[in-house]
Structure 1
Amino acid sequence: MSIKVKDILGLKIFKDSELIAGENGVEKIVKSASLMEVPDIYPYLEAHNILLTTLFPIHQNENAQKELLPKLNKKEISAICIKPGRYVESIPEIMIEQAESLNLPLIRLGDNANLSTMANKILELSLDKHLSTLEFRNNIHEKLMDLFLKGKSLDFLVNSLAEMIKNPVILSDTDFKTISISKDLKDKNIEFIFPNNDRTIFNKKLKLQIDDHIIYKENLITHPIKAGNQCFGYLLTQKGYLDPENLQLAIEQASLLIASVFYKNNAVLEKEKNFQDAFIRNILQGKIKSQIEAIEKARAFGWELEFPQIMMIIKIFTEDEVKKKKYYEKILNNDQIEKVFNQSLSIYQDKIKTIYINDSLVVFINAIFDKRIQKNLKDVGEKIIDKIDVNSKVGVGISQVIKSIDRFPAAYKITEKNLDIARILEQNSFVMKYDEYEIFNLIDKISDFELLNSFLDKKLGKLIRHERESEMNLIETLRVLIDNNFNLKKSAKAMYLHYNTMRYRVEKLKDYGINIEDGYQLAEIVFAYNIHLWLKANDQLRL
């Protein structure tokens, strides 16, 4: 524990002394002692000092006496000890009043008090405390390091720390979900409370509730578990009987070692993840031909790969690459997708596999009960969009049923391309199934981009070129007309336009070769528009 003013008053050498004012400040910490030998002592004073004086340097200066205590308080002096009798008959009443109002302990020393001896006793006590602190810190360091070198688990480290500091300890992740707790918290209900919906360490009103007992943030010591720029979580304990500095240091040292455990475990997991990602890339590229081989390798990564399968591709559409990366990391680290599948379809984690690949998340889903899963996957996709809760447009693409290992590459390619096309078509976050854009699967079979661009040029070339110079946005008008089966009234409503304005735009479309009253020509226009979307999504538009 830190030395406090009340501890100084308990020293034998202070037995004839009396605390005459500032009793509310006896909990102030004391680190040293000084004698007042000159009037202008302030530059030489440090915080948490006790000043001992006879007031000789200012005994004939009434103004200096009035200014003494306020100035000492500004220097964060812990207490002042005055020996009256020789130079001042009694302690001035103004000082007593000031000490009381400032909560600055004012101690009247006895007639036989030796100021130098008293100062030395305070310094000795402070030195003993310092040596005791060093011994405590060294002991904590050695014990924790020994446990770390022996490869003890996180639970063991947390329990050992709790025993050393005689205080309960909680290890949480960055979302304040408990990873490990000390034995004295077992069978207790632990909950973090976040007022104002701010679920971060910076929430000043953060509270920890253990059963019916609530601990406010100011009574918690919370330290991040960090390695480099990566934060793995937090180590928490309640402020207790130990000196706060010692307690803080013990938590800091434990945090460093626990961070090392996390880092080591993560390095192993990262290596496994690299092997897993390479394996899945090989599947999607068609490099693995044997279904039995794929199933066996998948088991090594805790994945029960079974057929038929369905893939779900999740893309976050934002130009901010840093923000996008953080979104994906949060989704993966918190198993958000797996939780939605478990809650919605009772599919457990070993039955699905989620990886990051090609700037998107790909989810592989065991579809043994494929009818049930197919029926509900769009609903699951909507729930995933709600769950991940990002401030960007999100697209979820659902593949066709994949019945064998060799069908993965084609299914992945089609779903990814359709997702890019849906991004152009949809204004907000969306979920799309493979069969909603079958026309694009047909276009995909045409490998001659020159032929596709040529057809597009004949049917929509004039309109596309006009759009680059006009603000009327007739291509968007064409899209809305297609969506509404060329019903002008519905299309006008969808675009928040007056009906006559829509009629005017339809007449303008005729100027560019688009006549919606000719059925055969209309079919070609719709087909050309879909080719336009497909070429744009594949960066093959040449007009």
Structure 2
Amino acid sequence: MSFTEPLPPTLRLASTGTLTYGLSVGEVLGVPALSGARVIAGESGLGRVVQRLNVMEVPDILGWVKPHELLLTTGYPLRNTPQSLGHLVADLDERGLAAIAIKLGRYLDGLPVEMIEQADRLGFPLILLANDVGFDDILNQVLTDILNRQAAILARTEEVHRALVQIVLCGGGLQEITDEVAALLGAAVAVIDSDGRELVASGGERYLAALRAADPGLEEYGAHGDRTVVPVVAGGYTYGRMAAVGESAPEVGMLERAATVAALVITKQQAVSAVESKYRADFLRDVLTGRPGGDDEHVVAHSASFGWDLGRPVIVVVVELDRAPAGVPDERVLQDRLTAALTSAVRRRDRRGAVAGFSHEVVAVLGADACDVAALAKDATAVFADAGRTFSVGVSRTAAVPGELPSAYDQAVKAVHVGRQLHGDGAVAHFDQLGVFRLLSLVNDTAELHAFVGETLGELAGDGDAEAVDLRRTLQVLLETNLNVAETARRLHFHYNTLRYRIGKLERLLGPFTEDAHLRLNLTLALHVLRMRGI
């Protein structure tokens, strides 16, 4: 179903950009009862919207008027104070009135010059009525036209809404909805997500260029100049915005109905995507944890249906959010954002790579030679930066066949945990580069590790004594240089004799480590344990 005939100009916009239903002042002057009326000032305001009418019967009319009213008067309430007419126009304009229509001759012979000048300055129409016209005729005819117009608007909007819904029911998506709305409005229309990215767009090139030239972050809802912007909302959640650019600002009501249908399409797509994502994640979890599910050929064939290639040599990358400070928002939301950021980064670098979000981590399986993990993490960090959180990354050895993926997954998990212990939040650690820390991380009894450190380093194990910490630093550099006294003195900026004195002090505290290789090994391991945060 399609509606391509031009829409009647039935929707009007107030100066604030909000939608109003009614007739313009110029259209009101076209009713038979006003055939003898003429505009004596404020002609630039003939586009103001009239939604209702009122009759001025009391001097304090300002307390009773409403926006978008056409005020009718004979001047009777002001017959004794004609000087107040000079301020009346400004007061009525401030309250949003559309125009004032006055019948002269019986109570007022003319209008003050300052009133006419002010009306021209404000673009507030002053209409002089014919002496033989009755207010009841004006009221009946204008209100009938307004009601007929509103009924036509509602019928037209409902008709268009049904057409858009029919597109969805027939399997159409955002692009088809946008194409239809662009044709109906004779404008360029785009749906933009909450991050400012254009999802779909349709319309003439000139209008599309004008639409894309605007900064989405600066667009306000409503009609402004040649464009109209409305939110795409469903279930209290704003998915983004729908924007349209035409010769003049497209109708807000039409765009709001289209945005409602667009929200329906988006929620449907997200529901389908959520189910598909869960299915993909469950499959990848089964592969990585080694659950029975077929041989390597089955895994390769099934993963290919998702666009993944697990038949080549691959590495497993595990990404975990770092510890959260108190009072952070919902962790699930951040986990979803991290999954989206990593998915986007992987698609740019390895289109056959697999990505899935698990309960506490995001896992990617990438071609061993297809992707630089450090660059990948940098890409994901750039997308995720505004979340105010960091994440750590663990990388496995290469898995040559799908049967090796469970071991690779365990390696990546170990790497992310040990890497965070060694380097803090935001670490990127490769399992092959963990060295002896891999072995230390296998010790689950942390109390035993603490006991080993205390027994081996003695009073140098704690951080409370500055001198002990300084001596421990000297010991560490000595061991790193294989007891090269000259090199150690150079690194620590000590005099040679000062270092010799320190070595003597260390041996009195720890034993003859310069002569005992086993003791040196124990001291090195104890220092490594201290480097592992969280032990």
The two structures share one fold, judged by TM-score above 0.5: yes
The amino acid that maps onto 2:300 is I
Report the alpha carbon displacement of residue 479 of structure 1 after superposing the two structures with TM.
11
Which of 310, 317, 326 is the equivalent residue of 1:312? 317
- Give runs of aligned pairs for residues 163-182 of structure 1, distance below 5 A: 163-182=183-202
Report the alpha carbon displacement of residue 423 of structure 1 after superposing the two structures with TM.
2.2
Matched residue, 1:527: 525
1:223 aligns with 2:225: no
1:292 aligns with 2:297: yes
Contact 1:23 1:104 in 2 (8 A): yes
Contact 2:318 2:363 in 1 (8 A): yes
Report the alpha carbon displacement of residue 313 of structure 1 after superposing the two structures with TM.
2.3
Bigger drift between 422-431 and 103-112 goes to 422-431
Report the alpha carbon displacement of residue 53 of structure 1 after superposing the two structures with TM.
1.0
- Give runs of aligned pairs for residues 48-87 of structure 1, distance below 5 A: 48-87=68-107
Q: Specify whether residues 275 and 472 from structure 1 end up closer, same or farther in structure 2 by C-alpha distance, changes over 3 A only.
A: farther
Q: Specify whether residues 194 and 315 from structure 1 end up closer, same or farther in structure 2 by C-alpha distance, changes over 3 A only.
A: farther
Q: Specify whether residues 482 and 117 from structure 1 end up closer, same or farther in structure 2 by C-alpha distance, changes over 3 A only.
A: farther
Q: Specify whether residues 445 and 86 from structure 1 end up closer, same or farther in structure 2 by C-alpha distance, changes over 3 A only.
A: closer
Matched residue, 2:364: 363
Contact 1:340 1:380 in 2 (8 A): no
Q: Structure 2 CA distance, aligned partners of 1:498 and 1:203?
A: 63
Contact 2:474 2:492 in 1 (8 A): no
Q: Structure 1 CA distance, aligned partners of 2:24 and 2:477?
A: 81
Q: Structure 2 CA distance, aligned partners of 1:498 and 1:73?
A: 88
- Give runs of aligned pairs for residues 61-460 of structure 1, distance below 5 A: 61-182=81-202, 184=204, 192-193=212-213, 201-204=216-219, 219-228=226-235, 230-238=237-245, 247-288=251-292, 290-320=295-325, 321-322=328-329, 325-333=332-340, 335-341=343-349, 347=350, 349=351, 351-367=352-368, 370=369, 373=370, 376-386=372-382, 388-390=384-386, 391-426=388-423, 429-444=426-441, 452-460=449-457
Contact 1:5 1:79 in 2 (8 A): yes
Secondary structure of 1:51's counterpart equals strand
Contact 1:338 1:352 in 2 (8 A): yes
Q: Specify whether residues 59 and 240 from structure 1 end up closer, same or farther in structure 2 by C-alpha distance, changes over 3 A only.
A: same
Q: Specify whether residues 189 and 389 from structure 1 end up closer, same or farther in structure 2 by C-alpha distance, changes over 3 A only.
A: same
Contact 2:42 2:123 in 1 (8 A): yes
RMSD: 4.1
CA offsets per residue over residues 274-332 of structure 1, 9 Å max, x none?
Answer: 22222222223222473223223323333221132111223342515537655543454
Q: Specify whether residues 528 and 384 from structure 1 end up closer, same or farther in structure 2 by C-alpha distance, changes over 3 A only.
A: same
What TM-score does the superposition give when structure 2 sets the normalisation length? 0.80
- Unaligned runs of at least 5 residues, structure 2: 1-9, 13-22, 482-486
The amino acid that maps onto 1:203 is L
Q: Specify whether residues 498 and 131 from structure 1 end up closer, same or farther in structure 2 by C-alpha distance, changes over 3 A only.
A: farther
Q: Specify whether residues 29 and 393 from structure 1 end up closer, same or farther in structure 2 by C-alpha distance, changes over 3 A only.
A: same
Contact 1:169 1:235 in 2 (8 A): yes
Q: Specify whether residues 229 and 88 from structure 1 end up closer, same or farther in structure 2 by C-alpha distance, changes over 3 A only.
A: closer
Secondary structure of 1:307's counterpart equals coil
The amino acid that maps onto 1:310 is I
Q: Structure 1 CA distance, aligned partners of 2:144 and 2:495?
A: 90
The amino acid that maps onto 2:344 is Q
CA offsets per residue over residues 202-235 of structure 1, 9 Å max, x none?
Answer: 42499xxxxxxxxx96532223333335544432
Matched residue, 1:474: 469
Secondary structure of 1:267's counterpart equals helix
Matched residue, 2:20: none
Report the alpha carbon displacement of residue 401 of structure 1 after superposing the two structures with TM.
0.8
The percentage of counterpart residues that share the same residue type is 22
The amino acid that maps onto 1:225 is V
CA offsets per residue over residues 465-496 of structure 1, 9 Å max, x none?
Answer: x33x5688939974995599366678669xxx
Secondary structure of 2:218's counterpart equals coil
Q: Specify whether residues 386 and 103 from structure 1 end up closer, same or farther in structure 2 by C-alpha distance, changes over 3 A only.
A: closer
Report the alpha carbon displacement of residue 6 of structure 1 after superposing the two structures with TM.
2.0
Matched residue, 1:344: none
Secondary structure of 2:49's counterpart equals coil
Contact 1:306 1:366 in 2 (8 A): no
Q: Structure 2 CA distance, aligned partners of 1:30 and 1:499?
A: 95
The amino acid that maps onto 1:403 is A
CA offsets per residue over residues 92-150 of structure 1, 9 Å max, x none?
Answer: 22322332333221122233333332233222221221112111122122222233333
The amino acid that maps onto 1:304 is D
Q: Specify whether residues 448 and 79 from structure 1 end up closer, same or farther in structure 2 by C-alpha distance, changes over 3 A only.
A: closer
Q: Structure 1 CA distance, aligned partners of 2:159 and 2:530?
A: 72
Secondary structure of 1:264's counterpart equals helix
Matched residue, 1:198: none
Secondary structure of 1:397's counterpart equals strand
- Give runs of aligned pairs for residues 506-525 of structure 1, distance below 5 A: 513=510, 520=517, 521-525=519-523
Report the alpha carbon displacement of residue 256 of structure 1 after superposing the two structures with TM.
2.2
Residues paired across the two proteins, number: 503
Contact 1:308 1:366 in 2 (8 A): yes
Q: Structure 2 CA distance, aligned partners of 1:103 and 1:499?
A: 92
Which of 39, 48, 51 is the equivalent residue of 1:19? 39
Contact 2:25 2:48 in 1 (8 A): yes
Matched residue, 1:211: none
Report the alpha carbon displacement of residue 400 of structure 1 after superposing the two structures with TM.
0.8
Contact 1:463 1:475 in 2 (8 A): no
Matched residue, 1:212: none
Q: Structure 2 CA distance, aligned partners of 1:63 and 1:12?
A: 33
1:4 aligns with 2:24: yes
- Give runs of aligned pairs for residues 477-492 of structure 1, distance below 5 A: 478=473, 481=476, 485=480
- Give runs of aligned pairs for residues 26-41 of structure 1, distance below 5 A: 26-41=46-61
Contact 1:35 1:116 in 2 (8 A): no
Report the alpha carbon displacement of residue 56 of structure 1 after superposing the two structures with TM.
0.8
Q: Specify whether residues 147 and 381 from structure 1 end up closer, same or farther in structure 2 by C-alpha distance, changes over 3 A only.
A: closer
Q: Structure 2 CA distance, aligned partners of 1:146 and 1:354?
A: 35
Report the alpha carbon displacement of residue 512 of structure 1 after superposing the two structures with TM.
6.8
Q: Specify whether residues 512 and 164 from structure 1 end up closer, same or farther in structure 2 by C-alpha distance, changes over 3 A only.
A: farther
